[in-house]
Each structure stands twice: as structure tokens, then as C-alpha cells.
Structure 1
Amino acid sequence: MTPRTWPNELRRILDTIARLAAAWNEGDEAGYASHFTDDANYIAASGERYRGKAQIRTGYGWLFTTSLRGSRISLEIESVRSWSPVIALVTLRARLETPDDTVDGRHALIRSSLLMFLATGGWRVAALHGTRIADRRCGSRRPPSMWTSIGSP
């Protein structure tokens, strides 16, 4: 990717991330899964692993009708790095809010790394790894001793 083309590709990457969040917020498992490659590797903050777009769609189809029904996610981009015209690493912070107490404290903070590839039709997520962030605002999910040893997100 040349310095001249990077701003356009960066906008396309950010647009893909925004559409990913919008699909989640609509509970649209097909729309959510459409932003992943066919052979994507997805490790959720819960530890669940999904292999491929089909498993992501099936898994989130179930979650959007059960424990994540009515949930909302907001994403904050922390960094975007690229080493070639077709590969980017995106790190972000996600705030997950649920309408009831299905998630401790009704919300969770998650840090995710997304390996993205430029494919036909735009940028797609080839790998996602999410990890919960220890944060007091998220309820008592972690013991207080952890809050003093792990910095604020």
C-alpha cells in the first residue's frame, strides 16, 4: 500500500468495522458474519472458538436470540497497522451492553485484535481474538487485587 492510497484504504477498513458493529446491534448474524473470510478464525472473549464464516453465523445466530439478545456493542479503534496493500491489523476496544444481567454488571469491556485482508468486495476479517478487560466499571468479574495490577484501559 502506498502512502497515497493508505488514507482511502484506512477509510474502507473503518467503514467495515462500523458495519460489523451495526450488524451486531441489529442482531443480524448474516450481516455480522458477512464481514469475515470464509476460513476466519474467531476466538471470542468468552473463549468460544468459531472456524469459518458459517460457524460464526450459526454461533451468533444462536447468541443473538439468547444471551446476547438486544445487546449493543460500541467500538473504539485503538490502532490500525498495515504491512502490505492487502493486510491490516486492527486493535479495538469494545463495550458490550446487554438489556439484562446476562453479562456481569450488564456490560463488558473487551479488547480485540482483528487481522484483516483486502478481498474482492472489500476488507474482511480473517482472524479475531477478543479478551475481557479488567475494569471496575464492568462489575465484580475480577477480584479487586487485579484492578490494582492491571492499568485502566
Structure 2
Amino acid sequence: MSDTVEAFLDRVRQAWDDGDAHAYGAQFTEDASYVIFLGDAMFGRAEIERNHHDVFTKWQRGTRMVVTLVNVRQIDADSAIVVTVGGIGKGDKIAYDKFQTYALRRDGAGEWQCAAFQNTEMSERAKKTYA
């Protein structure tokens, strides 16, 4: 059975919630690109994992992620463009404040992996729409 986009997003969210940089990095292809809303870019699974070790142990330690699927555009059986809204924080209510675009492709086992990721801060208008 083929992996679903929702299952991929759940793995990403779970790895974040667990603070597990290895599991988080495993969701990306070996040559993935990863661009954050501040304008920094990372290239390759190893760099994404290494960076998220610091994210999870320093700046975002103990945070949780919320993510909601907005749109899936299936390019072919093994590739898709996915847009989500999400946020990270602590406590019971985490605000949706970012759009994420994932370019996904299936690996040899049929699981989705992210080949390119872009995270963008939402406008105030968008926050009202997706709150």
C-alpha cells in the first residue's frame, strides 16, 4: 500500500514533537533543499538533521507542531506539491502562522519524502482565513 500525504505530515509533526532530529531529517531526500521564513537555506538531509538538532535542543526545545493540509497537487504517481498551514509553540493552543510548501516524491519503498521545503510567514489576512 502506498504512503499518504497525511501520513508523511504526521511523521514530520511527530518527529518535531519528539524533538528527534534524526527522525525529522529522515523525512527529507538526501539532496533536499530547506528554506526557512527568515531567509536561511539548508541543503541535504545531513545538514537539515544537524541544524534541527540545535533547533530541538536550544531554540525550540519542548515545542509542538500543528499542521493542516491546504492543497495537494499530484504531479504524477510519485510526485506532489503540498501546501500546508502550521505553527509551533508550547501549551494547548498553537497559532497557525506559517505556510509551508513541500515538493514530495516517493522513495523506492513508496513512502513520501520531501525534496524541497519552503516556509513562509503568513500575512495578517491569511491568519484570519486559516486561524
TM bracket (short chain): 0.7 to 0.9
Runs of 4 or more off by more than 3 Å in structure 1?
none
Letter of the aligned partner of 1:127 in structure 2? A
Shift of 1:46: 2.3
**Under a length normalisation based on structure 2, what TM-score does the superposition of the two structures give?**
0.87
Q: Let me know the Cα RMSD of the aligned residues.
A: 1.8
Shift of 1:98: 4.0
The answer for unaligned runs of 5 or more in structure 1 is: 1-7, 100-105, 136-149
* Number of residue pairs aligned between Structure 1 and Structure 2: 125
Shift of 1:13: 1.7
CA distance in 2, matches of 1:31, 1:42: 16
The answer for unaligned runs of 5 or more in structure 2 is: none
CA distance in 1, matches of 2:37, 2:90: 15
- Structure having greater relative contact order (Cα 8 Å, sep ≥ 6): 2
**Under a length normalisation based on structure 1, what TM-score does the superposition of the two structures give?**
0.75
CA distance in 2, matches of 1:20, 1:109: 17
The percent of aligned pairs where both chains have the same amino acid is 22
Name which of 52, 55, 69 aligns with 2:47: 55
CA distance in 2, matches of 1:98, 1:134: 22
Which of 1 and 2 has greater Rg? 1
CA contact (8 A) 2:85 2:96 kept: no
CA distance in 2, matches of 1:94, 1:107: 8
CA contact (8 A) 2:37 2:118 kept: yes
Shift of 1:33: 0.5
